[in-house]
Structure 1
Amino acid sequence: MKIKKLSLGQLGTNSYLLENAHELLIIDPAGEPQRLMAEIDVLEKQPVAILLTHAHFDHIGALDQVRSRYGVPVYLHESEHDWLSNPALNGSKYFPVEEVICQPADRVLKAGPLKIGSFNFDVIETPGHSPGGVAFIFADIKTAVSGDSLFKSGIGRTDLPLGDYDTLITSIKEKLYNLPDAYSIYPGHGPETTIKEEKMSNPFV
């Protein structure tokens, strides 16, 4: 499996494309839909799903365009299904951007193993930055796509609607930090890191 990162939109949000021999997973279609779809088409793989780590506006800016183009289902934690169509909840109401309103998600993400097409991975719940935040764990490549929970030398903000600092720290310590030290972290913003590096040097945890 290969993973490709694209930094998209006004906030430089990371979108990820995970590809195996024949299929593609799209994680957090953040913005710049034409650029994102061009990158997808270059890979010449069949998209099978769009996964959302959470439903803040900067992670869903290209959602409807990408979903419509490829006809794939959208997976999102049930705590945030209302957020896609609500600019006050997804945060776009409070930023100098066009309000983001998307169609409903198609599937509910829950903690545990998940198989989509030929992809097998685990979902862990990492609330705090938002109530329905999740991370996707790909054991075969020792990688976690962590959304806006854990960054390189940082953590997600908790001052947006329903954010909670103590909950986020608990999610990091009890969920992400239980992964093996060698696991790579692919965050919602900024560069990659590892569990070991963050355990040793993250000043917020």
Structure 2
Amino acid sequence: MATQLPLGPQDLAAISETDDGTKAFAPDLAYRRLSIVNVIFYGKPSGNGEWVLIDAGLPTSESTIVECAENRFGENTRPAAIVMTHGHFDHVGSLESLSRRWDVPVYAHSLELPYLRGEASYPPADPPVGGGAIALLSPLFPRSPVDVGTRLKALPEDGSVPGMPGWKWLHTPGHAPGHISLWRDSDRTLIAGDAIVTTGQESVYEVLTQEAEMHGPPRYLTPDWESAEQSVRLLAALEPDLIISGHGKPVQGAHMRATLHRLAAEFGEIAVPQGRHYDRNPAKPGKSGNDVYR
């Protein structure tokens, strides 16, 4: 059983919650938890209406995402872009319908494109890794790709993020071959995706209670632990002050950073499910991004 790295109340970012359940944790950042996953809204509510959606939740999430966006940015609003941290089922569930509804570009890392244009499926889940019901049910989770057609674009090679000035994307593979995190150096804010998560994602109890803990990526859907470790070390080296991940609450501060550094330093003992299939045999993509994952 992997070691837990608990975070305390002092590590939680201050948030303000609206009636629709959207939680703002910075002047231009808010998130909405949709069952087991977060979607993130970038943009100031009092601004000129320019905003970006980061990830797209579950198949049942479309109406909630639209409602939250209109409450935050105005009626009939649409984003400048949708930016995907990766293409797992809980992040792309409403992507096809939202991209059609808004007719906006969808950006992802080039290695993630096969899973967003209907060409490749992810590898099988590894259900015994987490010791919880969600991990055991993970073989039932969809692995098939979505297809957003011509709206799909590769993120710019210069590291910039369309619609998000001052941010850059970082390639943080392991949980998925084209997984990215988003970084703003000016205030040291990190949108981590699932490269790290701030609650235990394998257990129904932990998902429901959302107790703050520092974790590596969800174990049951992480096929390449070698790359995942390198990604966590990269993120720890940034010395972030504020982190929002794909699962869990936003966290901040010096103790949070110390906990992240411990995760990076002891990743093999804390995060990796010892002796499991993908611990012994990482599943890595070929040059096309989809050779191994069909």
Q: TM-score range by the shorter chain?
A: 0.7 to 0.9
Aligned letter for 2:235? L
Counterpart in the other structure of 1:145: 191
Counterpart in the other structure of 2:121: 88
Counterpart in the other structure of 1:19: 43
Number of residue pairs matched by the alignment: 200
Residues 120-144 of structure 1, C-alpha deviation per residue, up to 9 Å, x if partnerless? 3111110111111110112344311
Identity fraction in percent: 22
Counterpart in the other structure of 2:251: 193
CA distance in 2, matches of 1:112, 1:169: 24
Question: Can you give the 5+ residue segments of structure 2 that lack an aligned partner in the other structure?
Answer: 1-26, 126-137, 199-213, 272-294
CA distance in 1, matches of 2:65, 2:259: 29
CA distance in 2, matches of 1:57, 1:6: 17
Superposed displacement of residue 78, structure 1: 1.1
For 2:181, what is the secondary structure of its paired residue? strand
CA separation of 1:34/1:141 partners in 2, compared to 1, >3 Å: closer, same or farther? Answer: farther
CA distance in 1, matches of 2:251, 2:157: 23
CA separation of 1:53/1:96 partners in 2, compared to 1, >3 Å: closer, same or farther? Answer: closer
Q: Could you tell me which of 77, 80, 102 is aligned with 2:109?
A: 77
Structure 1 residues 39-48 or 17-26, which shifts more? 39-48
On the 8 A contact 2:123/2:143 being kept in 1, the answer is no
Residues 9-60 of structure 1, C-alpha deviation per residue, up to 9 Å, x if partnerless? 5xx1110001132211100011210001111111226510100001111100
TM-score scaled by length of structure 2: 0.60
Q: Could you tell me which of 229, 233, 257 is aligned with 1:169?
A: 229
Considering Cα pairs closer than 8 Å and 6+ residues apart, tell me whether 1 or 2 has the greater RCO. Answer: 2
The alignment yields a C-alpha RMSD, in angstroms, of 2.8
Give the alignment of 1:1-205 within 5 angstroms.
Answer: 1-9=27-35, 12-20=36-44, 21-22=47-48, 23-31=50-58, 32-43=61-72, 44=74, 46-84=78-116, 85=118, 88-89=121-122, 94-96=139-141, 101-104=146-149, 106-109=152-155, 112-117=158-163, 119-152=165-198, 153-160=214-221, 163-173=223-233, 175-181=234-240, 183-194=241-252, 196-199=257-260, 202=263, 204=270
Superposed displacement of residue 74, structure 1: 0.2
Superposed displacement of residue 82, structure 1: 1.2
CA distance in 1, matches of 2:186, 2:104: 24
Superposed displacement of residue 115, structure 1: 4.8
Superposed displacement of residue 184, structure 1: 1.1
Superposed displacement of residue 117, structure 1: 3.8
The structure that has the greater radius of gyration is: 2
On the 8 A contact 2:183/2:191 being kept in 1, the answer is yes
CA distance in 1, matches of 2:190, 2:57: 18
CA separation of 1:116/1:57 partners in 2, compared to 1, >3 Å: closer, same or farther? Answer: same
CA distance in 2, matches of 1:115, 1:157: 25
TM-score scaled by length of structure 1: 0.84
For 2:147, what is the secondary structure of its paired residue? coil
CA distance in 1, matches of 2:141, 2:171: 30
CA separation of 1:71/1:133 partners in 2, compared to 1, >3 Å: closer, same or farther? Answer: same
On the 8 A contact 1:113/1:120 being kept in 2, the answer is no
